[in-house]
Every structure is written in C-alpha cells, then in structure tokens.
Amino acid sequence: MRVLTLPVGNLGTNCYIVVHNNDAAVVDPGADVNSIVAALAGEQVTPSSILLTHGHADHVAAAAALRRLTGCSIIAHPADGYLLRATDNEIARLLGLTEAVVPDMELADAATVNLAGIEFTVLATPGHTPGSCCFYSATEQVLFAGDTLFRGSIGRSDLPGGNHKTLLRSLGRLKQLPAEVEVYPGHGPITTIGRERMSNRYW
C-alpha cells in the first residue's frame, strides 16, 4: 500500500490517495478536483471509493465532482449528513461546497471498509463533528484520523456540532492503538500514535 498526500484548498486539507495493486481510494477530496484527478492519472489508477472522515466542506467539497468523473462511490457517516447538505452555509460555500454530497453508503462504528483492497476498521470518533470517523488498518498499521488527532494537537470542538467531552472520549479510544501506528491527519504532517502519546499535551 502506498499513500499519496495532496494538500488541497484554502485550508491545506490533506487529501489522501491510497494506492494498492492497481486499485485506489481517496480519503477527503476537499477541493482541487483537477489535481486529484491528475494525481490518480499519474498513478494510472481509477478510485473505487471516496471515504469522508467527516462532513466539513474543506474535506468533502470535491467529492461529488470526483464521483462524476470516476464513477466511484462515496462513503460517509450519516451523523454528518447535515454538513454534506450545507450548501446554504456561507463558510461552506466559500470552501467550495456548492453542491450537496449524497453518500452511496453509510459508515458505522466497527464496520469494515475497503480502501483499494485493504480492510480498514471504522472507528466512530465524534467530537469534532457528530459523524467524525477514523479509519484503521491493523495489517498496515495506519490510521486516517481526519480532524480528530493532529501532530501535536487535537481537533477543534468549538464549531457547531462539536463537543469537547465527546472528543476526549474518542481520543481515549485512539490511545489504545499500538504505538507504531502511523497517523495521517486531516491537516499538517503525519505522526505516530506513540509520538503523540509522548508529546501531545492536549491528549
């Protein structure tokens, strides 16, 4: 498995392209659909799925266009549906969400999702938003963390729908993962569970 990182949009959101055996999946296509398509073409792969860690516009605004261009399916947690439909919200519109994102499949806690042929377990980690999820592969020792956990920081819980106590409970769950697990956050550089357990003062 290889992971390409594409910072997209005004907030430098990390869009990840997972490539494995001529298959691909895209995590959080937040903007810049053309550069995502170009990166996929560079790898000579067509994605089979788009996974959304949560419904904020900077993570999802290019999802509908990418689905149209590639025919892949969009998978998201239903609790963030109100954000995926928030095209009348001014900030969401500024971030490019001009068209509601209608998922093809719903994420649920502890379910298994397939990213480019690799099994990931869905960890529902509400707090940043009600429908925030992380995707964990025990075989690859990889976690896509969305805006729940960052290198040296944790997600905001002061936006509408956020809840600090809930976020801390979700982070407590991530703490149980092995130290060597690589964490791919929604913004900023990658890290590991072990590094954050040692040095993240918010965790």
CA nearest neighbour of 75 among 135, 31, 22, 23: 135
Stretch near Zn ion under the rule CB under 5 A, chosen from 19-27, 43-51, 83-91, 147-155: 147-155
By residue count, the chain amounts to 203
- Segment interacting with Zn ion, rule: CB under 5 A, options 92-100, 107-115, 139-147, 194-202: 139-147
CA 178, CA 106: separation in Å to the nearest integer?
27
The contact pattern for Zn ion, residues 160-189, with x = CB under 5 A and - = no contact, is --------------------------x---
Would you count residue 80 as binding Zn ion (CB under 5 A)? no
Q: Which C-beta is closer to Zn ion: that of 103 or that of 186? A: 186
Quote the Cα angle for 175-179-181, to 5°.
95
Q: Are 59 and 30 in contact (CB under 8 A)?
A: yes
Site for Zn ion in 39-58 (CB under 5 A): 56, 58
Asked if 147 is part of the footprint of Zn ion (rule: CB under 5 A), the reply reads: yes
Which residue stretches of 100-188 are H helix?
164-174
Instruction: Name residues whose C-beta falls within 8 Å of residue 97's C-beta, 6 or more positions apart in sequence.
Output: 57, 60, 61, 86, 87, 89
- 127 touches Zn ion (CB under 5 A): no
Least separation in angstroms between residue 21's CB and Zn ion is 30
* Binding residues for Zn ion, total number by CB under 5 A: 4
Beta bridge partners of 105: 75
The distance of closest approach from Cβ of residue 52 to Zn ion in the complex, given in angstroms and rounded to an integer, is 11
Binding site for Zn ion (CB under 5 A): 56, 58, 147, 186
